[in-house]
Amino acid sequence: MSAEQQKQQGFVFTGWHMLAIMVLFFGTIISVNVTMAWNAVTSWSGLVVPNTYVASQQFNGKAAAAKARAASGIIGKLEVKNDIARYEISHPERGAIDTDSVTLHFRRPVGEKQNFDMELQKAETGVFSGQHDIPGGHWIVEAIAMKDGKVIVHEGERIAVAGDVQ
């Protein structure tokens, strides 16, 4: 081939060009997948519900009920030390609030194996406590306080308990 023919031919697509395109294409896909998987694992607790469709249908009603409870101003305070759980129910202006019962639902952020519920005993007005072996690690504690058959406090809190994680 003469120099004149080479100039007329122009760009030639070779196997190296194809390799570069394939590496860039699949490298982009793989890096996006790894990034999204990492974000999914590190950003969401992975709470388990029996039926996700039913849970999604109930969301708006539960959100409206939570707003109404928040507007009442009644708050709860959870304290966990060793194997003792203590829950106080109060109002910033009225002080301790009398309730009939308090139940704590301890849930692991992922999995159901160690989950348990505690029915607390009334110690005094607005103060409930109970004892249960609480393994170390992260927990999501859902507290439900009832008065005359109605929920007056329903809140969740993520806590970390010192000790060995099983």
Residue 5 lies in a domain: no
> Which tens digit of pLDDT belongs to each residue from 32-81?
999 999 988 887 666 677 888 988 898 898 888 888 888 888 888 999 98
32 and 56 housed in the same domain: no
CATH of the domain at 95: 2.60.40.10
Is residue 1 assigned to a domain? no
Residue 80: strand, helix, or coil:
strand
Alpha carbons 17 and 19: distance in angstroms, whole number: 5
Q: Which range of residues forms the domain containing residue 19?
A: 14-42
CA distance 3 to 96: 96
The span from the first CA to the last CA of the chain, in angstroms, equals 75
Stated pTM of the model? 0.63
Taking only the tens place, the pLDDT of each residue in 80-117 is 988 889 999 998 888 888 889 999 999 988 778 889 99
Confidence bin at 8 (pLDDT 50/70/90):
low
Residue 135 lies in a domain: yes
Domain-located, residue 4: no
User: Within 10 Å of residue 143's Cβ, how many Cβ atoms?
Assistant: 22
The Cα–Cα gap between 138 and 162 comes to 9
Residue 58 lies in a domain: yes
Distance, C-alpha 114 to centroid of its chain: 16
24 compared with 164, residue with greater pLDDT: 24
Other Cβ atoms closer than 10 A to 76: 21
User: Which residues, listed in sequence order, are joined to residue 101 by a DSSP beta bridge?
Assistant: 146
